[in-house]
Structure 1
């Protein structure tokens, strides 16, 4: 329990349902859906789609999603891959011939076909209760009426606004400028898109006038996208992957997501007595940083589209983790993994909902970089992701760009299980940080006995791009000790990630936790 003399958040305790996400309006919309008789899937879709308006620099219907779902009355966990594919005519060779070493971040070359909308439609039909129209109603309302801009959103918006181009400037700037805290923001064009999808289903998005609007925006800039590419978009169900840490099972989404990276990192840390370390000391931060370098190096070499990820079992094997752990010097930093030739993910949203019947949904939804590609369709204002920049142009690499292929994805939802039962859906935003974040939260709980809110509040560090990012929550003495070990220590300008979690107690109580690094909260009833 937190010390009430200091600022902080108490957990949200309820019995009928809880939602935790990064914006209060989205959390409120999800709870309203539950009160109307909807289930966790209805509520998660409602909150997620609304977040595309509340945090448009992070996500939107022009992006991708992944989900883990535990249906009511079942201990089973299922995966849904709502990530899009490169257009059929995409070619790494063509980009290399044009002189590109990497996929251009803010051009049509980086735009993969949005997969989230198909996933929302499929998940609503498969697991929802009320129907898609009810789930989309809150976002339709707010897209027409507007939402006031929240503080963290305004901060991110100002940083990311320079990438907006063409029609995107009309839709996502106010009088040519990033909106300020409290300014009202609307997306009336997207309200119309959502009305059509609510009435006619996924074809209203992937065919006809809406698809034509997106294709026109891309082809005008030299994109190779076709209406056939959009019509063929399809989310795919699957099974999660898993590993164990101190009696807890960590469930992750399979490739093309990077969930295996979290399991490998977790398995490397299992070779050390983390619980004997100071949770906020240099020793733990150092061992975690070294383990992350090794796990991320494996990710960079092995994870790609599911059709070509052929070393998954190797990544999940405990013998692999033992061999990698033996490479760690407990007193000295090693070099980081080789630099990625593909772009590093930065921005996303995460939402989790558990309902009275204990259906649990863990859903993550993104347009990759802040405001994605910066390209929006003219008529409807659909901002298009730049997830294709997650491909490499390196010839022969598993993650080499090719038509119809999914890029390696950084967004990953998670669930913790104990005794075969789901006990905590959770997620940690922050692009590259996400696998590290999943394991840090798990270790905070398993090694140090923190409750979910404390586990999310706790300071973070992350070895990234040759630097060891150390939040201000650590002491100067710890930073100095890490520097002596050979780490290039920096204090990041923005906090590392943002997380949400819901603990399902045997007593019937749900315990929601929400990261103070974001504007959001947990709500329950």
Structure 2
């Protein structure tokens, strides 16, 4: 139980249903869908659409998404990969001839075809109870009538004014009065509202074909992009078999590559060899082990994870206990390793949400445009800000994640699902780009090893590694920082909070739900 004399919030507890998102308007939308008779899939898509309007720096219909779904709270976990692909003309030879030494972080060449609209349409048709058009109505209303800017949204938006100013449409819509909106101000996106109306009327074809697709393709090609209408018309997500591991009796599921989810599973396999529960949960030794396991797992992520239809990814070997045992031998409990190559890490923005309904359908749902405001490219008539997932591709022909036609890049966004004793235990996730695997592990070990509730597990201070530095949140005690330094870590106080997350714990015996929402974002958990 938390100390009620200190800042913080209690977890939300409910019997019928619960939601947890990074924005109050999205949480309220999901609850309204559930109370109106919709199921968890309906609520997740409606909330995700609202987030695509009210958190435009983090997500949007020009981005990608993934889903894990446990129908009726059972042990069978359904996974959907809603990530998009590179243009058919995006060959390595073309980029080399044009003098590129790497895929640009921003601009048209960073844009992969968005996959999230196909994801929404497919999962609602296959598992929902409402029409997609009805679920998009709250998002349409906020886009056309306006929404209030929340504090974390304003914080992130302010960093991006220079990027947005470079694209006339983005500057016009996202920098009203020539600047980023401030907290408490009202903002509208009427062009986006009309695009959502078209999708509501025509389904996925309202986005991938016709006027909206033409607007996106024409703008990208005017900037030198290789995209075609055929690339957009061919966009299609896939149901895939999730990957999983068992950590102290809990089965933990992630999306397979091209998703980075197995990075978290590898970290858990490494940490399973240590008695974390005997350590101080916010002490130097626990955080040191987490940092070292992360460095090893991210090394493998950066070298091996790619689109499995275009490259060989040794998933079975990476998740084997024998491999974890061998890799664990490189972890020194007393000292930070000095010989590991640093992972190539980047920060990004994402939204994550969890929903559990009255029938215990559990949904773990994540949408993103990667960096804040993605590529910085906005289609001028449709108001779609386009993601920059293509920036993850490499130009080394020997690397499995090398740029190629119709290829999915290595993807950072990763929903999680926990299952125990044949039943869903918890949909959960931690957003934050490359931090996500480490955030998943920190959150899960807080619950499993230290017995925290979902809210306390999210509240706890975090550490990460940035190049050769241990990046530390201000909530970590000075004596703990000194302990990490004695172990050889070069430390840096984080300028920005590390990630943000949500989770809903299902107590089958008590018949209750316990939900948490990260204080690093504007959102909240709600239940009834």
Is the shorter-chain TM-score for this pair beyond 0.5, marking a shared fold?
A: yes
Encode CA deviations 1:235-260: one digit per residue, 9 max, x unaligned.
10112111011111111111110111
Q: Name which of 306, 312, 315 aligns with 1:312.
A: 315
Q: Name which of 429, 432, 435 aligns with 2:431.
A: 429
| Equivalences for residues 255-294 of structure 1 within 5 A | 255-294=257-296
Distance 1:337 1:187 in 2: 46
Encode CA deviations 1:163-208: one digit per residue, 9 max, x unaligned.
1122111111111100001111111111111111111110110000
Aligned partner of 1:167 in structure 2 is 169
TM-superposed deviation, 1:337: 4.9
Counterpart of 2:488 in 1: which secondary structure?
Answer: coil
Classify 1:337/1:217 alpha carbon distance in 2 versus 1 (closer, same or farther; 3 Å).
Answer: farther
Classify 1:277/1:58 alpha carbon distance in 2 versus 1 (closer, same or farther; 3 Å).
Answer: same
Aligned partner of 1:327 in structure 2 is 330
With normalisation by structure 2, the TM-score equals 0.97
Aligned partner of 2:411 in structure 1 is 409
Aligned partner of 2:494 in structure 1 is 492
Classify 1:219/1:395 alpha carbon distance in 2 versus 1 (closer, same or farther; 3 Å).
Answer: same
Classify 1:128/1:337 alpha carbon distance in 2 versus 1 (closer, same or farther; 3 Å).
Answer: farther
Aligned partner of 1:510 in structure 2 is 513
Counterpart of 1:72 in 2: which secondary structure?
Answer: helix
Q: Name which of 173, 195, 212 aligns with 1:193.
A: 195
TM-superposed deviation, 1:512: 1.0
Distance 2:307 2:146 in 1: 38
TM-superposed deviation, 1:116: 0.3
Classify 1:372/1:336 alpha carbon distance in 2 versus 1 (closer, same or farther; 3 Å).
Answer: farther
Distance 2:112 2:465 in 1: 29
| Equivalences for residues 200-349 of structure 1 within 5 A | 200-307=202-309, 308-335=311-338, 337-339=340-342, 344-349=346-351
Classify 1:513/1:255 alpha carbon distance in 2 versus 1 (closer, same or farther; 3 Å).
Answer: same
User: How many residues are aligned here?
Assistant: 524
Aligned partner of 1:61 in structure 2 is 61
| Equivalences for residues 5-16 of structure 1 within 5 A | 5-16=5-16
Aligned partner of 1:145 in structure 2 is 145
TM-superposed deviation, 1:309: 3.8
Contact 1:268 1:324 in 2 (8 A): yes
Unaligned segments of structure 1, at least 5 residues: none
Encode CA deviations 1:464-500: one digit per residue, 9 max, x unaligned.
3111011111111111121122111011111111010
Contact 1:255 1:309 in 2 (8 A): no
TM-superposed deviation, 1:345: 4.5
With normalisation by structure 1, the TM-score equals 0.98
Q: Which runs of 4+ in 1 moved over 3 A?
A: 335-341
TM-superposed deviation, 1:31: 0.6
Q: Name which of 503, 519, 523 aligns with 2:522.
A: 519
Counterpart of 2:177 in 1: which secondary structure?
Answer: coil
Aligned partner of 1:52 in structure 2 is 52
Distance 2:73 2:99 in 1: 55
TM-superposed deviation, 1:302: 1.1
Aligned partner of 1:155 in structure 2 is 155
Aligned partner of 1:27 in structure 2 is 27
Classify 1:336/1:256 alpha carbon distance in 2 versus 1 (closer, same or farther; 3 Å).
Answer: farther
| Equivalences for residues 54-133 of structure 1 within 5 A | 54-72=54-72, 74-133=74-133
TM-superposed deviation, 1:306: 2.0
Unaligned segments of structure 2, at least 5 residues: none
Contact 2:63 2:114 in 1 (8 A): yes
Encode CA deviations 1:262-319: one digit per residue, 9 max, x unaligned.
1100000011111111111111111111110000001111110022243111111111
Contact 1:42 1:135 in 2 (8 A): yes
CA RMSD of superposed structures (Å): 1.2
Aligned partner of 2:461 in structure 1 is 459
